Amino acid sequence: MKNSDTHHSQFDHNQPRNDSSSTTIDSRFNQTLKNVQGLLKGRSIPGKVLLTRRLEPADELTVLSPDYRRTQSAHETGTSDRINTVLDEDVQNTSKQGNTTNVGKLKSSASDHEITSKEVPRSTIGARATDSARVMKLTKELSGTTVILERLRELAWSGVPPNMRPTTWRLLLGYAPPNSDRREGVLRRKRLEYLECVSQFYDLPDSERSDDEINMLRQIAVDCPRTVPDVTFFQQEQVQKSLERILYTWAIRHPASGYVQGINDLVTPFLVVFLSEYLEGSTENWSVSTLSSQKISEIEADCYWCLSKLLEGMQDHYTFAQPGIQRLVFKLKELVRRIDEPVSRHIEEQGLEFIQFAFRWFNCLLIREIPFNLVTRLWDTYLAEGDALPDFLVYIYASFLLTWSDELQKLDFQEMVMFLQHLPTQNWSHQELEMVLSRAYMWHSMFNNSPSHLAG
């Protein structure tokens, strides 16, 4: 199982499909379940475990439109023993039925939607971050003298309560130190440093800028009003001015890439999260005019430093020709071919290149593809992945694309281009996003030990 060549041959779509290969795939799914059980043993993990069952014969590694079976732990808190019992029962039931069972999101917790729509209206279903046990664990972790970052990552992966996001994100990105005694002093110093940078680089007349700097500032000024245009909050003049200062200062201090269109989108989750410490209610009703200039500069500083930390791990995504993104788009194409060969073949036959639609996904980290109210939940998972984020994006975006596998196979080239540019996600809730993340984690756990299938 650990041999990459063996893995490659088992999942190569050119290999003949027979009973033996189906059995092999069955055993791999069951082994994945057992591996996850091994990861869970001895760990207290709140919440439920999401398992998905395929109803069709296991002759292809395609996990689409799964029938989710939700299991609920006692008293909503859950323990590792209870989770292991549930997993054991599901493995046994699966072996009796002869169907392939797939692991969904099995990290510190699974989906945040184990409550059925009959119990809670669909529109009010929120992230698993609201589970009382997880809130207690996060509260305890964040209030400690020294935060254990690995433990925080496990808890944050499945969602963070909004009131805990600002502190959690600062810690996950390494902007705020884990030691609580040092935290306030470090943040004060970094915020002052940002103010000095703004004074040095931004608060200048154009006569003191180079032609390249003038052109870059003009491009940023053009892009700011286009940033998340469907959220009126971002159309406020003061908000756009904050975006402009953050982006220009970042670009000047990172000359290897400078400003690249798309980076403007990456500031927006930070801006909303750090403003939430001072503004209440719906984002649509926020007004930054109620905040002092000092508070605004502190929020800008936090956005600037967190953006810098985020992009440190993906610098070649925004350098000349953006080779990092091109590399990940290639990996996405290969992964989709392994998971869903029919849709991969259809896309290829129609002459559609992955770079034509997936480039924007990697460039803007999916912000333009899903409702903005879901972005911060998605970014909980992004930031919890840490240095592993770029590679994990490939699995998230494969899962995202294959949400519409059946639809895509019915479309010709032009129809696919239009469909992928205007994906039907406007009515998505947390439930659809959790499905995407569940499949991504399941596929990552299956493929990641044999990376040669994504080599190149």
User: Domain containing 418: what range?
Assistant: 323-449
Q: Do β-strands 67-70 and 101-103 pair in parallel, antiparallel, or remain unpaired?
A: unpaired
With a cut of 50, list the residues of the chain below it in pLDDT: 1-26, 28-127, 129, 455-456
Q: Which of 280, 313, 346 is the last residue of a domain?
A: 313
How high is the pLDDT of residue 107? Answer: 43
* Chain-centre distance for alpha carbon 112: 15
Query: What confidence tens digit (pLDDT) does each residue in 39-59 have?
Result: 434 333 333 233 333 333 333
Indicate if 350 and 307 belong to the same structural domain: no
**SS3 of 146, please?**
strand
Is residue 173 included in any domain, yes or no?
no
Flag whether 293 is in a domain. Answer: yes
pTM of the predicted model, to two decimals?
A: 0.73
Number of domains the chain contains: 2
Please indicate, yes or no, whether residues 199 and 308 belong to a single structural domain of this protein. yes
The answer to whether position 362 is within a domain reads yes
Q: What is the pLDDT of residue 90?
A: 35
Task: Please say whether the beta carbons of 194 and 242 come within 8 A.
Answer: no
Q: Are residues 303 and 329 in the same domain?
A: no
Q: Are 374 and 266 contained in the same domain? A: no
Paired tokens of 19: 């009973």
251 and 333 assigned to the same domain: no
Residues 308 and 340 reside in one and the same domain: no
Closest by Cα among 380, 404, 386 to 156 = 380
Q: Residue 128 domain-assigned? A: no
Judge contact between 118 and 71, C-beta under 8 A.
no
**Burial (CB count within 10 angstroms: exposed 0-12, middle 13-18, buried 19+), residue 349:** exposed
Q: Is 90 a member of any domain? A: no
Domain termination site, one of 287, 313, 339:
313
pLDDT of residue 451: 55
Backbone angles phi, psi at 69, to 5 degrees: -110, 120
Based on the domain organization, do 328 and 297 belong to the same domain? Answer: no
CA dist 441 and 107 (Å) reads 8
In the prediction, which pLDDT does 453 show? Answer: 52
Distances from the Cα of 391 to the Cαs of 8, 33, 91, 212, 448, in angstroms? Answer: 19, 22, 29, 33, 10
List the structure tokens of 235.
Answer: 């159309």
Q: Are 309 and 327 in a shared domain?
A: no
pLDDT of residue 134: 84
Tell me the per-residue pLDDT of 343-375, one tens digit each, with 9 for 90 and over: 999 999 999 999 999 999 999 999 999 999 999
Element of type H or E holding 8: helix 4-11
| pLDDT single digits (tens) 375-422 | 999 999 999 999 999 999 999 999 999 999 999 999 999 999 999 999
